[in-house]
Amino acid sequence: MRADFTPMLDLESMVSDINRQEWFHNKFNNYERRLLQVKDEVKKKGEEDEDVKKQLEGLVVKRFDDCNIVPERNVTLDIASNFVTIDIRCDEDYTKIDSYLDLMTDIVSFIIANDNYVKLERIAIRKTDGNEFENGAQADAVFEYFDQNIEEEGDSFTLRTYTDSFLYAKRQVQVHYNRTLRILSNTPKPFVFVLDIDSFLDRAHIENRRPERAEVWDIFYNKLNETCFELFKRGVKESFLNTILKD
């Protein structure tokens, strides 16, 4: 999950103030100051503009990891002068991420409340899921493919990607929706399927660019997270969904 905003006045003071808050203190065991890897950040946001790269060069990022939040995850929190990200790697465990949505909401709303110049530019949740399979039949049992049978299509290509970009009318959320099947050679599990869902609101679709906490929570949970989950359910087979949600 990610929030981009206009640059804050003082990153060092802001992070120190956040760290003193009861809702944040002792949530992470590790901290480090990093310089942004520009190529990774540009790739993440899909930007190739040279001016953007120059703006990002050498950007200081405050990174927290080794998270104590329940349920335990492999989690990384990055705070920079103009964005916050929480990266959650869930592996096979699909337990709800409400506690992390809470933390993200607290951080974003705190920054807005304590810096008069900060305004939201973009707010997003991106979910990627994928797996490797021995054959197309196994992949067919998990993922909804392109209205075709993966087993039957397996000999006709080595890479196929379907990309959709649309406004999800039910919640007025923008979406980039990608399904990719790559068929490798000389490997025990040659069928690699990736489902990538990016739900977001950009500046033009954010009604209040300085929202209070309740509105930030509503965007993250009721708009973005619910959109991701609904589209994820459409991207996998019902039998697989029932297996992971049985608890």
Determine whether 215 is exposed, middle or buried from the number of CB atoms within 10 Å of its CB (0-12, 13-18, 19+): middle
Residues 141 and 246 occupy one common structural domain:
yes
One domain, residues 132 and 111: no
The yes-or-no verdict on residue 159 having pLDDT over 70 is: yes
Give per-residue pLDDT as tens, 215-227. 999 999 999 999 9
Looking at the fold, whether 88 and 150 belong to one and the same domain comes out as: no
Mark whether 3 and 102 lie in a shared domain: yes
Q: pLDDT (tens digit, 9 = 90+) per residue, 89-108? A: 875 555 678 999 999 999 99
Q: Are both 158 and 235 inside the same structural domain? A: yes
Instruction: Please say which residue of 81, 98, 118 terminates a domain.
Output: 118
- Kindly report which listed range (12-16, 115-119, 161-165) carries the lowest average pLDDT score: 161-165
Provide the pLDDT for residue 70: 82
- pLDDT over 80 at 167, yes or no: yes
For the chain, the three-class secondary structure string (H helix, E strand, C coil) is CEEEECCCCCHHHHHHHHHCCCCCCCCEEEEEEEECCHHHHHHHHCCCCHHHHHHHCCCEEEEEEEECCCCCCEEEEEEECCEEEEEEECCCCCCCCHHHHHHHHHHHHHHHHHCCCCCEEEEEEEEEEEEEECCHHHHHCCECCCCCCHHHHCCCCCEEEEEEEEEECCCCEEEEEEEEEEECCCCCCCEEEEEEEEEEEEHHHCCCCCCCHHHHHHHHHHHHHHHHHHHHHHHECHHHHHHHCCC
**Alpha carbon 194 to chain centroid, angstroms:** 14
- What total number of domains does the chain contain? 2
21-79 pLDDT, tens digit each: 999 999 999 999 988 765 555 445 544 455 545 555 568 999 999 999 887 778 999 99
Q: Which of these three, 65, 89, 118, is where a domain ends?
A: 118
Is the pLDDT assigned to residue 109 strictly greater than 70?
yes
Q: What local confidence, expressed as pLDDT, does residue 154 receive?
A: 52
Read off the tokens for 218.
Answer: 């509503």
Same domain, 86 and 193: no
**Whether 83 and 169 share a structural domain:** no
Q: What is the pLDDT of residue 46?
A: 47
Same domain for 173 and 62: no
Do residue 243 and residue 173 come from a single domain?
A: yes
pLDDT at 162: 85
Distance separating alpha carbons of residues 98 and 84, to the nearest angstrom? 17
Instruction: Tell whether 141 and 239 lie within a shared domain.
Output: yes
Distance between CA 157 and CA 43 in Å, rounded? 26
The residue out of 118, 139, 167 marking a domain boundary is 118
> Considering the chain, what is the average pLDDT of its residues?
85
pLDDT band at 182; cut points 50, 70, 90: confident
The predicted model gives 203-207 an average pLDDT of: 94
Query: Residue 99: which domain range?
Result: 1-118
pLDDT per residue as tens digits for the range 122-139: 999 999 988 898 887 888
**Residue written as tokens 């209040």?**
208
Same domain, 196 and 213: yes
Pair (133, 91) in one structural domain: no
